[in-house]
Structure 1
């Protein structure tokens, strides 16, 4: 091996050690950069050559500058990110729901329910007390307002998720575009995989984009030989070669609101259900908030039906001179149990009492409701109107909206009683509550305007509290529609389940967070920058550089000796 070869070998060594110092400097400079992946100089012994009977080495060469990354670990991080993001969204949604319930405050629904029950009990003890009668109406109105307000708060939470979904979809599409843009840049810089070096900064940007995308939707990626990556979500692709598939939103009707959903633009497939913020929001809106709306509706429907069925069979201090049903029937020729009424009537009968206001004389007529499905003569709205119109001093008609209207002749009023068919409460005649669920519950405007219409008795005069006694029992009686729970018990159970589910969700989120932190700790150990290690490498490259420079100096001296001969 000649001096020229030795000089060339020393020169190449200087280049290698200079590159090593540059790589170490890059790592040190980015030691605090979020998401930075440590780079490493890969070197190998150069190809030797034969001179005479000897084989000489030719020094060292650079194989490449490569990022230190564990692809399997990155895949686990992406999956764990999606799970954690989904759980955090659900946990926050439970917290929002608990705040909406306000069960520790003064204006919670439990308090309103108890206050309404207490007002009924107080009036039952003094049924002829006009101020207590007004109090029942006021507490009923407050209960209806509180139910409506709670439904409104929960619906606002549900509607707010649509904006969150829109923002996340926009962000996800930007990340998909970013990955698609970085792919060819990386391929060009790495010569489509021919170079053994990584486009470090560009790859770091792409890894960060994929990590954030994994928090929004579940993703997995597969690197191509040219350095680009294909990105998949479930069985669908988001980035494939030079093509992209974005996310898009669409709306569906759900429990009284327009709910935003997400699908892929080309395949029209829904996003996977394995995790991610988007799936967490959609599931939380439907399973957490939506399920609570279902429970609140069931509670409210049972409240309305239970109170109204008792109230409709009672009577107030005065009767009605004119009354219009709350419910509308689109087909007045259909059997009433098939007419689409929210609360379905049944086979039975009810009393119509025509009261002479001057003398107090009462004429009672029993109206039969035939809903046995036999004989083809089941009661319809039209046949009911005809039967009522046949009652002396009572006029019945059906208006253009499909509502039953009753008016008495001058000097008379109408009262009702003993309704075994439930048709009065189904149609909304002589009822206390109006509406069908938590979205539209209210108080009968006639009773609100004149509490004397409040049905406290069953015909025994102002001191009659027989109907009130039945009403006072409704709160704690088991209801078949509530699986045997009482109204009070069902609501308390619902609130308790929300609290329990919230605690469970928080525990799951804490476990998922611990897993993510553990994975990131492993990632930091494998891909992170240790300043101590880099300082040692700097010293090693420095010493090696000095040695190579010393070798060049020695060879130069030897050349000087040769030239001086």
Structure 2
């Protein structure tokens, strides 16, 4: 059977194990208020038994590892829902910035300016020969055009702002993925599994931040390393010790805005749906262009019908139709100051209509080109000075809308078209505000659940400390007893 020396080492192993475990408790208590700290647990394992004859005798206890207490599946949930929460919040913020202007019901709002334009047409129809009313109509038309342009420009400004954010967010993503890959290196090369809990805590905090920027899926490998992919499966951001950069490439996305490339080769713009980056791409490429499309269609609806009537109508006393458009698409300039034209697409066949819109310079210079009169009866004579048939037809467009552009919206009265735009913006703001609040509550609940598992509970640590203290005292007492027995043997046989 083992001798007293073996018993002494057995007691010593217990003493050392309890002391090591107490150090872990002390580490937990010291970091009770450290953000992102994960509670640690000392894993004690009985040593291999020693065989004496046919009898197995214990050889004590060892500290095998210090494990961070984590729920990996809960972490994955938090990453996923965090991306949705920041995505919803960024969409709400972007929409809220333009809602007030698009929904303006004051005198400078689109609805009021359209009303003022058609009121000007109505006033002129009552006195078609009145030069002051012709000038007033031109002024009201310019006000309506200006109102549409300012709202359209606001949407363009927000899209440009979103594009700038895309570029900066891509840089942030790359910084985080590089840091995570470096921490993977430290974790994969640790001597004892779970030994580098500090690196794991840092990696968890960085992954939390990454999830705020972009939707991700996270997989943990056999050596504790993370593999991180875009949640859509569009590409890998981190694979063990390697990270793969995102970059922006101008000209590949809508309207020449930045495409997001992975590894400089693969266009993953359409595969980024959540997080701040996904929200900025959605605002830039889908949500805001949708409202611009509605403005383009509104402008196209008004101008096409007014122009049709003005071209076919007669000036007072005229012998032939004016053949003149009331509105004309002015030549727009690109960022380099070069002339551009309308750029219709399948998604928006009237794209650029508002940007190119203006009152015809010929009409501004010669208000008599406003065709207030209808075709003379019989055709051989000139239009009467007081003829207001064409002006009344123009005025009726306000409530009748038009059906010449093939859309349900464009066939509605223009007040209804503007109302639909305002309603769409308001509904989108409300929807994303509600989603952001709901996601925030969900993420908070998940984080509280994670804290209850991974966070430090001082009551639990105090209980563990008392248990370990008793274990330490018992081991010390055991060593003391063995020491006394050893002394007795030495004293007895040493004489």
TM-score (norm 1): 0.75
1:44 aligns with: 45
For 1:186 and 1:35, how far apart are their aligned partners in 2? 17
Question: How far did residue 108 of structure 1 move?
Answer: 1.4
For 1:3 and 1:446, how far apart are their aligned partners in 2? 115
| Structural mapping, 1:47-446, within 5 Å | 47-51=48-52, 54-188=55-189, 190-191=190-191, 195-233=192-230, 234-252=233-251, 257-265=255-263, 267-271=265-269, 272-316=271-315, 362=319, 416=321, 424=323, 429-435=324-330, 437-446=353-362
1:449 aligns with: 365
Contact 2:121 2:391 in 1 (8 A): yes
Contact 1:173 1:247 in 2 (8 A): yes
For 1:139 and 1:25, how far apart are their aligned partners in 2? 77
SS at 2:42 equivalent:
strand
Question: How far did residue 451 of structure 1 move?
Answer: 3.1
What do the CA deviations read for 1:395-425 (whole angstroms, capped 9, x no partner)?
xxxxxxxxxxxxxxxxxxxxx25xxxxxx4x
Partner of residue 429 from structure 2, selected from 499, 502, 512: 502
Alignment CA distance shift 1:170-1:307 (3 Å): same
SS at 1:263 equivalent:
strand
Partner of residue 445 from structure 2, selected from 518, 522, 545: 518
What do the CA deviations read for 1:498-520 (whole angstroms, capped 9, x no partner)?
21233223333333333322322
More strand by share: 1
Contact 1:119 1:136 in 2 (8 A): yes
RMSD: 2.4
TM-score (norm 2): 0.85
For 2:241 and 2:26, how far apart are their aligned partners in 1? 35
More helix by share: 2
What do the CA deviations read for 1:480-502 (whole angstroms, capped 9, x no partner)?
23413122211211221221233
For 1:478 and 1:48, how far apart are their aligned partners in 2? 93
For 1:124 and 1:498, how far apart are their aligned partners in 2? 35
2:393 aligns with: 470
For 2:328 and 2:252, how far apart are their aligned partners in 1? 27
Larger Cα Rg: Structure 1 or Structure 2? 1
Alignment CA distance shift 1:72-1:203 (3 Å): same
What do the CA deviations read for 1:351-397 (whole angstroms, capped 9, x no partner)?
xx6xxxxxxxx5x5xxxxxxxxxxxxxxxxxxxxxxxxxxxxxxxxx
Alignment CA distance shift 1:501-1:243 (3 Å): same
Contact 1:245 1:266 in 2 (8 A): no
Contact 1:217 1:275 in 2 (8 A): yes
For 2:107 and 2:471, how far apart are their aligned partners in 1? 77
For 1:39 and 1:237, how far apart are their aligned partners in 2? 31
Contact 2:229 2:236 in 1 (8 A): yes
1:29 aligns with: 30
2:338 aligns with: none
Contact 2:170 2:247 in 1 (8 A): yes
For 1:316 and 1:254, how far apart are their aligned partners in 2? 47
SS at 1:473 equivalent:
helix
Alignment CA distance shift 1:547-1:106 (3 Å): farther
Alignment CA distance shift 1:30-1:106 (3 Å): farther
SS at 1:312 equivalent:
helix
For 2:106 and 2:10, how far apart are their aligned partners in 1? 82
Contact 1:432 1:454 in 2 (8 A): no
2:337 aligns with: none
For 1:24 and 1:492, how far apart are their aligned partners in 2? 64
SS at 1:34 equivalent:
coil
For 1:197 and 1:71, how far apart are their aligned partners in 2? 14
SS at 1:252 equivalent:
coil
Question: How far did residue 171 of structure 1 move?
Answer: 0.7
For 1:63 and 1:254, how far apart are their aligned partners in 2? 54
Contact 1:70 1:526 in 2 (8 A): yes
Alignment CA distance shift 1:214-1:467 (3 Å): same
For 1:276 and 1:520, how far apart are their aligned partners in 2? 17
Q: What are the ranges of 5 or more consecutive residues in structure 1 without an aligned counterpart?
A: 319-352, 354-361, 365-415, 418-423
Question: How far did residue 52 of structure 1 move?
Answer: 5.7
Alignment CA distance shift 1:549-1:104 (3 Å): farther
Question: How far did residue 140 of structure 1 move?
Answer: 0.7
For 2:234 and 2:291, how far apart are their aligned partners in 1? 32
What do the CA deviations read for 1:515-548 (whole angstroms, capped 9, x no partner)?
3223222212221221221122222222222232
Alignment CA distance shift 1:430-1:225 (3 Å): closer
For 1:532 and 1:474, how far apart are their aligned partners in 2? 76
Alignment CA distance shift 1:254-1:142 (3 Å): farther
Alignment CA distance shift 1:223-1:434 (3 Å): closer
Contact 2:316 2:387 in 1 (8 A): no
For 2:228 and 2:31, how far apart are their aligned partners in 1? 27
